[in-house]
Structures are given as structure tokens and as C-alpha cells.
Amino acid sequence: MSTSTPAGGPPQDDAPLLDVRNLRTWFHTERGLFKAVDGISFQVLRGRAVGLVGESGCGKSVTSLSLMGLVPQPPGQVQADALLFEGRDVMALSAEERRLLRGGRMAMVFQEPMTSLNPVHTIGAQIVEALRAHTGLSYDDAKKRAIEVLELVRIPSAAQRFDDFPHRLSGGMRQRVMIAMALACEPVLLVADEPTTALDVTIQAQILDLLRDLQQRLGMAVLIITHDLGVIAELVDEVIVMYAGQIVESAPVQALFDDPQHPYTIGLLGSIPRLDVVRERLSTIEGSVPSPDSQPAGCRFAPRCPFADAHCHASQPPLRSMGPGHQVACWKAPVELGRPMQQELADVAR
């Protein structure tokens, strides 16, 4: 993978579209300092789809909000060695520059469209407002563009639905409107935070198919935030696995599913229902994600890991290369983790 351009330098064709370096998002609370995201680094290349996966509470959504500049400060505190987007360090931008960037070149789809859409304005008016704020189009031109993007996300009779209020649309249609709003200004990066969580299985499949089609047709980069490995398998080129505010494994999607190296990743994969395997019950990962204000001293997964030893509990493992594009933060990898250990972990989980 190529090196990034220096902060503030001109973007290069081979440079990552998004380059996150040592991102830290902490919250000051009455209980103490919550380290929701604690020193993560990753890249998103132009036109590629990257999945950020993990349990609830691992820091996925806070990561997306940090990228978009939507973490309230205070109580939040967002720091990074650099957060480069198209070669510019967005951490150095003014609030107004960040606002223009958000919704323009980079856009976000939230997981609950009913709370993200304004219930007292029509869906068309909300898309037009976003367009005029970022493009300076006239109302008529903005309305024309709004209808075009509603058609793009497969909303039937888009011109007629333009004047509908959000409550008149189903959950799947509202999510399509959110995607249309995000795409209206032709972003080069789309961040989708749990885009299918509140939808039934049939509608989930439709939304995933839509996102995959739009990503391929428009050539934009996509960062998918999800806890669902089924979504990851369907949509992304690369996977980043987060646990307790840190990255524990990252790999091309096929490598992750074929040869996971971290016990947490193996546990996540083992918990997926499969039609070709008969089980009395699904595998589970015992325990829960540690609280952000009381993280273990060593590996953060060690208290839940059936293979942890004294070294794991005492010292935090760094991310190490396991092959092309494959990194893992585990003291046991790669010699002891592999097919036999995966089977052992599945047996332990049963």
C-alpha cells in the first residue's frame, strides 16, 4: 500500500483517499475518562469498500462520528496524529470548512433514518436543502437533482414521492432517502453506520444490493460500520475488526474468512449460523466488552480469551503482519492460531 501525502499536501493518484493515523476519541465523564477509540490507524483507498466490524461498544460508531466531525466537544475529545482526506488534514480545518466537507466530498448514512430525517419537512425539501447548502444550485435545479437521486436509489414514482413526509414511507424507503441525500452532492467517500440494522431481512438484502450497485456504478469509496459479518461478506474488499476501542485484526475480506488469526475474529465467525453445519446451539464469546474507563492492562480481549496466558494479561500486543494486507494484534499468532485452534475455539464455544 502506498504512503500517504504529507498533511496539507496535494492529493496523489496513488495516495489513500482516507488515511487515519492514531485516532483517539475520549470522553470526560463523572466516572472518569472513557477511551472509546484508543489509537487506531487505517486507510480507505479510492473506489474501495472497507468494513469496520465488532460488537456493540467496541468504538465503531464513535470512529465514524469522529471522521465526520460530529463528536460533541466537550465532553468528547478527538485527537489524531493525522486524519487525511484527499491529502488534507481535516483536523486542521475550521468548523466551517469541516461542515462544507461533510455532506459534500464525504457523506454519512445513519442507522436509524426516522430519527435522522426531519419529520416536519418533506423528503424532497430536505434533499434540496442539502444540495443548496453545498452546491449553490437554484431551487429548480436542486429539485431536479433531488428527483434524479431518488430515482437512483430505486424509489418508485420519485417525482410524486418528492413531496411525501418521512412518516408516509416504510423503513426501507426512508433508508433509501437517507442514501439519496448522502449521494446528492456526489461524495467520493460514503460512511454507512449500520445501514440495515432497523430493517427486516428482505429489506436488508435490498439495501445491501443497492449499496453494492451504487458503489460499483459511481466508483466511490465506502466505509461500512456494522456488527454483521454477513454484511461484510456481501459488500467489502477489506475488513477491520475492532475490539474495546482498538483494531485487533485487518485483512482482505477473503483472507479474513479463510484464515482468521485473532481469537476474537474466530469467535465472531463461529457465531454465524450456517446451513451446512448442524449445531445444538450457536457458538458464543463468553463475557462482555470491558468498560472504556477500566481497560485491562494487557491484551483487551485476554479476560474473554480461552488461550490467554500471563504474557497476554500483562502486555498489550502490537499489530503485526501475517501476510499481504493482513495484520493481527495477538501474541499467539501465527504459529498457534490456525485451523486446529479454530476448531478448538469452536469446541470451547459449544
Q: What is the predicted pLDDT for the residue at 11?
A: 44
Instruction: Return d(Cα 196, Cα 204) in angstroms, integer.
Output: 5
CA end-to-end distance (rounded Å), the chain: 39
Query: Residue 4 is placed in which grid cell?
Result: 500517504
Length, in residues, of the chain = 350
Q: What is the predicted pLDDT for the residue at 2?
A: 36
Q: What is the predicted pLDDT for the residue at 179?
A: 87
Q: Which residues of the chain have pLDDT under 70?
A: 1-14, 113-114, 198, 272-283, 335-350
Q: Residue 305: which region, alpha, beta or left (left: phi > 0; alpha: psi -120 to 50)?
A: beta
Quickly list DSSP for 151-215. Answer: HHTT-TTHHHHTT--GGGS-HHHHHHHHHHHHHTT--SEEEEESTTTTS-HHHHHHHHHHHHHHH
Q: What is the predicted pLDDT for the residue at 348?
A: 38
Q: What is the predicted pLDDT for the residue at 275?
A: 55
The label of the residue with cell 475529545 reads 77
Structure confidence by residue, pLDDT tens digits, 32-76: 888 899 999 999 999 999 999 988 888 899 999 999 988 888 888
The label of the residue with cell 470548512 reads 97
pTM of the model: 0.84
